């Protein structure tokens, strides 16, 4: 199968490494007057914004891991053949995890809309040196500019909405891939490229949000 698929998988691994919730929009709830509970203690009632961010990141990264496994299986299929039942299982897991991530972000957005901003943090976001930070950390400009567009205006909820919309788009694309796989047809390679890129871009968007908040 196309060598570029395997190259893409390796590139994702370089971007992701051992990244978990602490690098995917974490600390951003500090922009509100409600964030995290006592460390290590889970709320017995409704989840906090901090908990929802962690939960959503966990589902997203699980889906991302499924997608890397899927691409690996498709890459090796030229030698081993396509095991469609196996591919179906991996793809179904990727979809389920992404749908859970999207559902968690729905809850996060509702809570964010009902929670006042912490004005001191919003002021820091507006005064933050985004240009210098991007240059110092060698960030991907096209993605970081989008992050800056939300945070420099103090629109953290808007950033959450953007992350949710990206997940919805990926779910739609994954279902198109599933339609082919369920019919024992090799999925369109161009669509695999697009989904692969969407995972990376969404990952970096969430990571850059977390990086800015960590450095306020």
> In this structure, what token pair is assigned to residue 155?
């629109």
Residue 20, in any domain of the structure: no
151-155 CB contacts, 8 Å cutoff, 24+ apart: 151/125, 151/209, 151/212, 152/125, 152/126, 152/128, 153/126, 154/31, 154/117, 154/122, 154/125, 154/126
Mean pLDDT, rounded, of the chain? 87
Q: Residue 122's Cα: distance from chain center in Å? A: 23
Q: How far is CA 216 from CA 57, 64, 129, 171, in A?
A: 21, 28, 10, 33
* pLDDT score for 27: 82
Distance CA 206, CA 54 (A): 12
| CA torsion angle 39 44 48 54 (round to 10) | 60
Alpha-carbon separation of residue 151 from 58, 127, 138, 198, 208 (angstroms)? 23, 10, 19, 21, 11
pTM above 0.75, yes or no: yes
Question: Is residue 193 situated within a structural domain?
Answer: yes
Kindly state whether residue 32 falls inside one of the protein's structural domains: no
Is it the case that residue 10 has pLDDT exceeding 80?
Answer: no
Report pLDDT digits (tens) over 101-160: 999 999 999 999 999 999 999 999 999 999 999 999 999 999 999 999 999 999 999 999
Q: Is 117 helix (H, G, I), strand (E, B) or coil?
A: strand
Question: Does residue 51 lie within any of the structural domains?
Answer: yes
Q: How many domains does the chain have?
A: 1
> Does 34 reside within a domain?
no
Residue-range definition of the domain harbouring residue 195: 4-8+46-214
State the Cα–Cα distance between residues 170 and 167, nearest whole angstrom: 5
Closest CA to 212 of 59, 80, 31, 68: 31
Q: For residue 144, tell me if it sits in a domain.
A: yes
In a domain, 21, yes or no: no
Instruction: Tell the residue number behind the tokens 């290590």, with chain if given.
Output: 40
**What does the pLDDT look like over 145-197, one tens digit per residue?**
999 999 999 999 999 999 999 999 999 999 999 999 999 999 999 999 999 99
Instruction: With respect to residue 125, please indicate whether it lies within any of the assigned structural domains.
Output: yes
Handedness of CA 94, 194, 106, 61 (dihedral sign): positive
């Amino acid at each position: 199968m196309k060598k570029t698929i395997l190259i893409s998988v390796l590139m994702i691994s370089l971007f992701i490494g051992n990244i978990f919730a602490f690098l995917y929009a974490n600390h951003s709830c500090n922009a509100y007057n409600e964030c995290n509970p006592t460390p290590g203690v889970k709320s017995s009632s409704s989840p906090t914004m901090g908990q929802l961010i962690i939960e959503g990141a966990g589902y997203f990264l699980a889906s991302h891991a499924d997608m890397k496994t899927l691409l690996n299986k498709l890459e090796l299929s030229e030698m081993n053949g396509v095991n469609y039942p196996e591919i179906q299982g991996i793809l179904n897991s990727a979809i389920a995890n992404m749908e859970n991530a999207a559902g968690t972000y729905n809850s996060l957005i509702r809570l964010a809309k009902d929670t006042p901003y912490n004005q001191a943090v919003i002021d820091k976001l507006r005064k933050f040196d985004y240009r210098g930070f991007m240059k110092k950390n060698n960030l991907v400009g096209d993605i970081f500019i989008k992050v800056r567009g939300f945070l420099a205006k103090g629109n953290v909820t808007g950033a959450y909405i953007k992350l949710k919309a990206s997940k919805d788009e990926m779910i739609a694309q994954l279902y198109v891939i599933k339609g082919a796989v369920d019919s024992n047809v090799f999925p369109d390679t161009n669509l695999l490229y697009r989904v692969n890129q969407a995972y990376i871009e969404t990952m970096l968007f969430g990571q850059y949000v977390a990086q800015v908040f960590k450095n306020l």
